[in-house]
Amino acid sequence: VQILLKLWRNGFSLDDGELRSYSDPTNAQFLESVKKGEIPVELQRLVHGGQVNLDMEDHQEQEYVKPRLRFKAFSGEGQKLGSLTPEIVSTPSSPEEEEKSILNAPVLIDDSMPATKIQIRLADGSRLIQRFNQTHRIKDIRDFIIQSRPAFATTDFVLVTTFPNKELTDESLTLQEADILNTVILQQLK
Whether 33 is covered by a domain: the verdict is: yes
Examine the fold and report which residue of 10, 36, 58 is the final residue of a domain before the chain moves on. 58
Q: How far apart are CA 66 and CA 95, in angstroms?
A: 53
Identify the pLDDT of residue 32.
92
Q: Are 9 and 28 in contact (CB under 8 A)?
A: no
Examine the fold and report which residue of 38, 58, 78 is the final residue of a domain before the chain moves on. 58
Whether 26 is covered by a domain: the verdict is: yes
Identify the pLDDT of residue 93.
53
The domain tally of the chain equals 2
Whether 98 is covered by a domain: the verdict is: no
Identify the pLDDT of residue 12.
92
pTM for this structure?
A: 0.46
Q: How far apart are CA 32 and CA 37, in angstroms?
A: 9
Identify the pLDDT of residue 103.
46
Identify the pLDDT of residue 21.
92
Per-residue pLDDT of the chain in tens (190 residues, 90 and over written 9): 888 999 999 899 988 889 999 999 999 999 999 889 888 888 888 777 778 888 889 999 999 888 776 666 777 777 666 555 555 554 455 555 544 444 455 788 888 988 999 999 988 888 888 999 989 998 998 899 888 888 888 888 898 988 778 888 888 989 899 888 888 998 988 8
Cβ partners under 8 Å of residue 158, min gap 6 = 167, 168, 169, 187, 188, 190
Which CATH number is 158's domain given?
A: 3.10.20.90
Identify the pLDDT of residue 84.
56
Whether 99 is covered by a domain: the verdict is: no
Which CATH number is 49's domain given?
A: 3.30.420.210
Whether 181 is covered by a domain: the verdict is: yes
Whether 79 is covered by a domain: the verdict is: no
Give the range of the structural domain holding residue 119, as residue numbers without chain letter. 115-189
Tell whether 54 and 119 lie within a shared domain: no
Q: Which helix (H) or strand (E) holds 159?
A: strand 157-161
Whether 78 is covered by a domain: the verdict is: no
Identify the pLDDT of residue 102.
47
